[in-house]
Each structure stands twice: as structure tokens, then as C-alpha cells.
Structure 1
Amino acid sequence: IGIAPVQQAVIFEKYRQANVAITRKYGGTGLGLAICRALVELMDGSIELESSLGVGTKFSFDVRLAAYRESSRASFERSNALAVESVRSLHVLVAEDNMVNQKVLTKMLERLGHTVSCVENGKRASESLEAGNVDLVLMDVQMPVMDGIEATKLIRSQGRNLSTLPIV
């Protein structure tokens, strides 16, 4: 918990992580904060951190955004409703080892009228597709047993209609 001062100077750089032991335990590529910084800077903003070893770390950012207008919201809701209505109900397979991410994706997709099945690794994803009733796969990249890239290659090699199945 917390980031040492020497690490704070490099934590926003690509492929840099503060603690290798945590990376081994939870995964990650060291791109998350670099991407956050890039996005904030694209909006002419700034990002910073406050950290105390043994206590924790707080990240914050500042960006200037246009003031909210009710007419913008109404327009967005109308166009969003039309987009949702035009998509048929899909059966989505979510391959994700993080249970929180599984729950979030499931809720989001179900609210849009889709049915969702979840598996925790690429091997299970490949096995689940044998039933053949999936319209779309949302595939995590880093998973135990078989990662998303390896699973996608396996799925594509199995023939049937899987060579054109959308895998995101």
C-alpha cells in the first residue's frame, strides 16, 4: 500500500509499475496510468498523486469541461434509445477472470436486452462455444489457464462458423 517517492517520479511512464510483487499477484502491463495521463493531457488537464507508504495512494485529475445543458442530454437520450432499439438481443459470452468485471459487464449488457454467459479463462471460453449459440465474445487478454490471445487463435482454428464470430 502506497508508492515510494522514488517510484512516484516514474509511475506514469509506459510499462512502469511501482511494485513487481503486486504485478505478479494481480497482473497488469504498466500501461494504465500512462493511458490515464495521456487522456487527461489530451483534454488539456493534469493528473497527480498523493501517496504515503503503508497508508495508500490517491490519484486525482483536473480537466475543463463544457457546462451541462439539458437539451444535450435529451438529444443524447433520443439517439441512444434509437441505437439500442435497432440492435437485436444478442447472446454474449464474457471471458473474464475478474469477478467484479464480470458482474459489471453482465449488468450493462442485460440492461441493453442481451443475455450473458461468463467464464473465467480462455479454455472455458473455447469449450463454451461448442454449443454454438453465442453471437459475440468479450475476451479479456490476461487470464489464467489460457489467455485471451491463445483462446482466440484456438477458436478461430476450430472452423465451423467460429472464424467469423466477433471476438472483442
Structure 2
Amino acid sequence: MPVTRRNTSTFGFKPTSDLLQSRIRKASETRGFAVSRLLTHWAEIVGVETAEIAHPVNVSYGRGGLGATLTVLTTGAQAPMLQVQLPKIREKVNACYGYNAIAKVRITQTAPTGFAEGQIQFRAKAKTKPALAQTEIETIKKTAQNVQNDGLRNALEALGANVMTKSKSN
């Protein structure tokens, strides 16, 4: 039986994401970010290690709208390390866009404290997952125990753990 999402707006409530989506999109587009997900999920897209040393600043489009340049901000000390990662960053960002939108990634350097107005911090906030209780872990393992393929069973257990963790954090 398919799960249907109840329209909460008929009860006078709207999800916060619905209220902020247009404002986030407008603010993103002024900086050249056609896909605001690049800003809001930067650590997930490029990885926590890269997000700790670099932040997206701007996307500038060339003539015709193709071959955009992504500008990332980092500290002077981290720039050489980031330079090595540029092809991988470009690949991951283009995967976020869904097509080969970014042709070049450019590095801009700043002091470790960032710009004077906003004071950018170069540490990504790692999300901590709530721990599962032993009974929940046993339930997950019991559910997947009949799967013969070890790889598939492990994948299903990991999926079950992710689902249980996500439901706990909401």
C-alpha cells in the first residue's frame, strides 16, 4: 500500500522548507548558484575533509551559459592541498548539477578567519547520528538474516540502520 503524504497546508501549517525555498533560491542565484543544493549540502557533495578547508563563493557563467567557473574560498596554507583536488571537486559538483555545468574551479585565498563582514569558519559541522539501541540493531540483523548474499545482507543492514537513525533524528 503506497504511503501518501498529507497536505499540511490545509491545516494551516507549512513545512519551513516551503517557506524559505524561494528566498534561498533568490539569494543563491545572485551569487550565480543555479542549484542552491550546492550551497546547502556542500559538505555532502565534496566530502567533509574538503568542506573543512574550502567554501563555494561564486559561479560565473561564460558566454552562452556553458562552461561556468566555480570559485572556492580557502586559506593560503590549504590552497596547494585543494589545488590537487580540483578535478575531483569539479566532478562532484557537476554530479550535483546533473550535467557538465562547471568547466573550471578557481581558488581564492583568504586569512584563516575569512572575510571581515562574515568571518567564514573553515570547519564543517559534522552531523552526529544518534546511536541505535542494541534491540534496534538486533531487529535489523534479524530482518536481513535470510539473505544469502553477504554483500547484499550487509547493504540491507546498513540501509536499515540509516533508516532507523534518520527516523530517530526527525
TM-score (norm 2): 0.22
